[in-house]
Structure 1
Amino acid sequence: MNNELLKLNLDSLTDLVESWGHPRFRAKQIHQWLHQKHCSSYDEMSNVPRQLRDHLSEAFPLDSFQLFDRQISQDGTRKYVFQLHDNRLVETVGMPSFGDDGTIERLTVCVSSQVGCPMKCSFCATGKEGFTRNLTASELVQQVAAVQNDFNSRVSNIVVMGQGEPFLNYEEVLAALQMMNSDNDFNIAARRITVSTCGLITGIERFSREPEQFTLAVSLHAAIQDTRDLLMPQVAHQPLPQLKQALSDYIAKTNRRVTLEYLLIRGVNDSEDHLNALVSFCDGLLCHVNLLPMNPVEGAPYQPASMQTVNHWTKILMKHGVETSMRKSRGADIDGACGQLKNKLVSRETK
């Protein structure tokens, strides 16, 4: 879909359609095709006159967005690689939760915000790829629409936890989230939309001023500075005390809980010292710690911590009043690490 057309609100679209000599009700029809039916071509707008469709096509040529590859896990997770108009590839994941009768009760989509990522986190397959460009709001929305159509089930939750650092693409990400939240679009509750950042302080501060009640998650991965600098070198210039202060300010301003994501890596960030540092970091914060299972990344030396360690961390954190959970690994049998499938495909295509 064309990014500029998708970002026009109904009033602006009405003004445009009337300036072309068409009745104003046509704008509402077009708006419904774009934001409720999520059409992928102007030809699908069956109740819009051909002359108007042609005018739209000339003024707002559509960018291609095509399925390049799809894998389906035994647990129902589907991992997609989409090809964009410039032949770049981007990953998206659909994660269904099933009821006792086998029907989908909840469908979560993990979307990417950039092609590649500039953050260079040492445990991340996407970080090894490097950064190419930001995604447009349209490309974020189309990821959700494609997954919803593929599952033939309404998307209930969004997590911007795929490839890229969303706060480095702030305007486009926010525009996409507002569309996903709108009752004229996907109508997904703001609290069911989560943005995950490496902890960019300026982005956190800006996000705290948005009126929507979107959820914030921060990739922490270590509460000892040297270890975090090793794992996440691009945020080494932001000391942990400053990050904690930014989160405290965010919580005070929004009255919303923050999720701290922590990837437990054997022999790297899973010692008692690291556990005590995390307990200290959480002290005074309205937060939830999400311990993450690690999907091994080809070429990376890291291995997941043992379940004994995970259980111990959970027990100690809960003992100190820190709400803690462990995210269930999804899609581990289908190149589960972020960027892994795409990188394999790129490697295959360039051989």
Structure 2
Amino acid sequence: MSEPPGAAVSLAEAPPADSPSKPLTAQRVLPLRRPGRWIGTAVALVLVAQIIHGLATNPFYQWDRFRYWFLRPTILDGLVVTLEAAALSAVLGLLGGIVLALARLSGSPVLRAVSWVYTWLFRSIPLIVVLIFLYNFSALYQTLSIGVPFGPTFFTFDESRLATDLTVAVIGLSLNEAAYAAEVVRGGILSVDQGQHEAAAALGLPKTYQFTRVVFPQALRSITPNYVNQLIGLIKGTSLVFYVSLLDLFGSVQTMGSTYPGDIVPLLLVATVWYLILTSAVSVVQFYVERYFARGATRTLPPTPLQKVRSGLGDLRARLRKEAAV
């Protein structure tokens, strides 16, 4: 019986059946080639290098004046005002948002209607309009009183003496922030599985205990990232209080820019860098708060930045040892 052409050659080239094969540890695994990823990385690095080069070498930015203004007392005083206004407004806005969210979810049609109207109204009006209106509130109401509507008055006080510039700014920011925080909190509460509500009710827990110990801690997993976005917007929104005569960080920069018109660009860069620092600090706090409330929801907690660095260095050392052994 004749063999097909080439059969003898293929049999001769085939390794014997009893020849030992290389162990898996000795075989080299070739990584999958991804040229698109490398091209995208190279383009991104080139763009980043171009931006850094432009910032460092363009004399228009006047980095020497930037260093001069960055820690000046006037700038730091405005930064303190920004922190005060943002911190007070964040706390008051969140508390107001929780109250509004609970009212929106309550069984009372009056509370639901009042909460809906408040949220609709303050989400529709620009923040600058709210601040200017409150700043001129004393022109509409010279005195404020507490008493029975259409009845006797118990307390009367002068509104202009209580409404300082910081008070007006905090009230305006808090009223605006509460409307957005209400929707964030309401969405977080609705994200909790209905079975959790039923389980807490089946245990006979009081309504307040159900909310504070069962529902709200789980809702915070959804509330935290969304409200931090609102908080970052609030920090940037404090720049509008300059229009109600409060010298915050942006107001101080604007004032110094009017006095020193040649330093407008470096002064704006100073404000930009400080806002970047503030929002970055808030983002770091957000990471650890989310990590804390992730306990019980995930099998393993997300690694911290320090843990990621240690893990990356460990992988790099292992790779270098492996290449050296080969």
TM-score by length of 2: 0.21
Q: Which has the larger radius of gyration?
A: 2
TM-score, length basis structure 1: 0.20
Say which structure is richer in strand. Answer: 1
Tell me which protein shows more helix as a share of its residues. 2
Q: Which has the higher contact order (CA 8 A, sep 6+)?
A: 2
